Amino acid sequence: MEMQTFPISNGMKIKKGDTVKIISGKDRGKIGKVTNILKKENKIVVEGINISKKHSKPKKQGQKGQIIQVAMPINASNTMIMCAGCSKTTRVSKKIVGNRMVRVCKKCGAEL
């Protein structure tokens, strides 16, 4: 009986749309949804976390300038994935289901 082998990626275990909890920094303890991933820098953007103010000039004459709040990227190592099944922060393992690789919660075994 031959075993199937799958390539193991050394990339990030966090994907766009995941719910994460911040474990260090000024926003420690807050929970948010991942909106963007910067894989080369190992950073993620989480909505409502690490907010910075950005000043924008007026585009047209007679229009006023604005101060816009923008979510800045944070290091992915400062976050942990929240499991939907057990509602706890968890590490991620991978499991073969059918013909594909699936991310699994280490605590309860639910798919992420």
Q: How far apart are CA 102 and CA 88, in angstroms?
A: 19
pLDDT digits (tens, 9 = 90+) for 28-42: 999 999 999 999 999
pLDDT of amino acid 28: 96
pLDDT digits (tens, 9 = 90+) for 40-81: 999 999 999 999 999 999 988 999 999 999 999 999 999 999
- Domain range enclosing 101: 19-58+65-105
Residue 41 domain-assigned (yes or no): yes
With DSSP H G I counted as helix, E B as strand and the rest as coil, what are the percentages for the chain, rounded to 5? Answer: 5, 45, 55
Number of domains present in the structure of the chain? 1
Residue 100 domain-assigned (yes or no): yes
User: CB of 106 within 8 A of CB of 93?
Assistant: yes
Residue 10 pLDDT level (bands cut at 50, 70, 90): low
Count of alpha carbons within 13 angstroms of residue 1, beta-carbon side: 1
Q: How far apart are CA 24 and CA 76, in angstroms?
A: 11
Residue 10 domain-assigned (yes or no): no
Residue 7 pLDDT level (bands cut at 50, 70, 90): low
Residue 33 domain-assigned (yes or no): yes
Residue 7 domain-assigned (yes or no): no
Residue 12 domain-assigned (yes or no): no
Whole-prediction pTM = 0.79
The CATH number given to whatever domain includes residue 38 is 2.30.30.30
